[in-house]
Structures are given as structure tokens and as C-alpha cells.
């Protein structure tokens, strides 16, 4: 039963509610980094990695620091009469957690694995302002997922993002030589292509799982 629920989350995050093409999260890197296949793959891997970590860290922050539950750390440390409700700080805390996390991951990768750093390094700073990361953490909380479900949704959302990005990069490389109207060259035609891809992904909405 548990496994089935996780499978549903994976399929939903990658195909049915694809983060880029259906939910419109992370459009800026989708348009900005999809000009070459190599950089699209690098960016995709960095996003999967950070999304999973961010889902983990913000879940802990939300349920142990902000939410009015019996686990709230402030409730225990200050011996309050009832658990405090700090959920209104969600946006501020989440963006700070993500920004810190990205910086930290960058430092760790730089120290431990220079090869990985060369591959992902330049994409990491861009990720802080990628709305897909904050988006997935807010969705985890809105849908009241537990820790495992949040982690799975984080990773699957990253895979969905990578899928859309890599497909787009492949198409845009072909587009270099295509004959298109002068005014539509560059970003406009990329958006029109995204519309066609989005129609294809709408087809997955018919899946009943």
C-alpha cells in the first residue's frame, strides 16, 4: 500500500503534473539552460540533487521548528504551555534553508569531489532562485506529505524537470538550422515549442492510477 502511494507520487510528479510543462515551475532555467544538451544534463542533475536535499531539510524545519505539533523544539526548550504556531514564517525560513543548503553543498562538493564540482559547480548558484525548488518544498507541506513522501516527491520532481529540460535542449539544437520567421527566432519559438510539448504532456492527465 505504502509502495503504491509512492509510485503514484513519482508518476504524478514526472508526467501528470510535470513541474515545468504543467505546473510552470522553473521556467527561467528551462529557457536559459536549454541551448545545449551537455549543460541541460548538468543542470538537471544539480536540480535533482538539491531538490531531494531541500525536501528533506525543509520538512525537518517545518515539523520541528514551525508547525504547532508536540515535536516543536521551541515548545520543549522554552517549556511553553502549548506548541507555538510559527507557520506564517514558512516562506522566509524555507528560502533561507534553501539558500544556505545550496551554498553548503557547493562548498562540500568543491572540497570532496573536484570532478563533480567541475560538472555541476556553475549551475549551483543559479538554483537558489529556481522557483521549482521552493515550489516543491511548499507543495510537500501543502499536501501534508510525510518525510518519505516528501523525499520521493523531491527526487521525482527533479527527474521531471530534467526530462523536460533535456527534451527541450535536444529540440533546440535541431532548431539552429531550421527555417523560422525572423521575428520568432530565439525565445519566442522556444515558447511555442514548449506549448507543443505541454500538449503532449497533457495526454498523461488521462492516466488513472
Partner 1 sequence: MSLWYEFSKGIYKENPIFRLVLGMCPTLAVTTSVQNAIGMGIATTFVLFSSNLLISIIKNAVPKRIRIPMYIVVIASFVTIADLVMAAYEPALHKSLGIFVPLIVVNCIILGRAEAFAGKNRVLPSILDGLGMGIGFTLALLALGLVREILGNGTIYGYPVLGSGYNPMLIMILPPGAFLILGLYLGFFNWLDRKRKVS
- Report the nearest approach of partner 1 to the CB of residue 84 (Å): 16
Q: Give me the least distance between CB of 1 and partner 1, in Å please.
A: 28
From 142, 176, 177, 209, residue interacting with partner 1 (rule: CB under 8 A): 142
Q: Which is nearer to partner 1, 80 or 192 (CB)?
A: 192
Q: Does 163 engage in binding with partner 1 (CB under 8 A)?
A: no
The one among 36, 69, 71, 91 contacting partner 1 by CB under 8 A:
91
- Which one of residues 14, 53, 139, 165 is an interface residue with partner 1 (CB under 8 A)? 139
The reply to whether 31 sits near partner 1 by the rule CB under 8 A is: yes
Q: Are 35 and 169 in contact (CB under 8 A)?
A: yes
Residue 50: CB minimum distance to partner 1, A:
13
HEC string for the chain: CHHHHHHHHHHHHHHHCCCCCCCCCCHHHHHHCCCCHHHHHHHHHHHHHHHHHHHHHHHHHHHHHHCCCCCCHHHHHCCCCCCCCCHHHHHHHHHHHHHHHHHHHHHHHHHHCHHHHHHHHHHHHHHCCCHHHHHHHHHHHHCCCCHHHHHHHHHHHHHHHHHHHHHHHHHHHHHCCCCCCHHHCCHHHHHHHHHHHHHHHHHHHHCCC
Question: How far from chain centre, in Å, is Cα 142?
Answer: 15
Binds partner 1 by CB under 8 A, chosen from 28, 60, 107, 178: 28
Residue 178 touching partner 1 (CB under 8 A): no
Contact region with partner 1 (CB under 8 A), list: 58-66, 144-152, 154-162, 176-184: 176-184
Catalog residues that contact partner 1 under the rule CB under 8 A: 21-28, 31, 88-92, 94-96, 99, 129-131, 134-135, 138-139, 142, 181-192, 194-196, 198-199, 202
Amino acid at each position: 500500500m505504502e509502495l503504491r502511494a509512492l509510485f503514484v507520487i513519482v508518476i504524478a510528479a514526472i508526467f501528470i503534473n510535470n513541474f515545468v510543462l504543467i505546473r510552470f515551475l522553473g521556467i527561467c532555467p528551462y529557457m536559459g539552460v536549454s541551448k545545449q544538451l551537455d549543460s541541460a544534463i548538468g543542470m538537471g542533475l544539480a536540480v535533482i540533487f538539491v531538490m531531494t536535499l531541500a525536501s528533506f531539510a525543509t520538512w525537518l524545519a517545518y515539523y520541528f521548528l514551525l508547525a504547532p505539533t508536540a515535536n516543536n523544539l521551541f515548545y520543549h526548550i522554552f517549556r511553553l504551555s502549548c506548541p507555538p504556531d510559527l507557520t506564517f514564517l514558512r516562506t522566509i525560513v524555507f528560502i533561507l534553508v534553501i539558500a544556505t543548503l545550496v551554498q553548503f553543498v557547493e562548498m562540500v562538493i568543491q572540497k570532496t569531489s573536484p570532478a563533480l564540482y567541475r560538472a555541476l559547480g556553475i549551475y549551483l548558484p543559479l538554483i537558489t532562485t529556481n522557483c521549482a525548488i521552493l515550489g516543491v518544498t511548499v507543495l510537500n507541506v501543502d499536501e501534508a506529505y510525510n518525510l518519505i513522501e516528501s523525499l520521493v516527491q523531491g527526487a521525482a520532481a527533479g527527474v521531471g524537470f530534467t526530462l523536460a529540460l533535456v527534451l527541450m535542449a535536444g529540440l533546440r539544437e535541431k532548431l539552429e538550422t531550421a527555417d523560422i520567421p525572423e521575428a520568432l527566432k530565439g525565445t519566442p519559438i522556444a515558447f511555442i515549442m514548449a506549448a507543443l510539448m505541454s500538449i503532449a504532456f497533457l495526454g498523461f492527465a488521462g492516466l488513472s492510477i
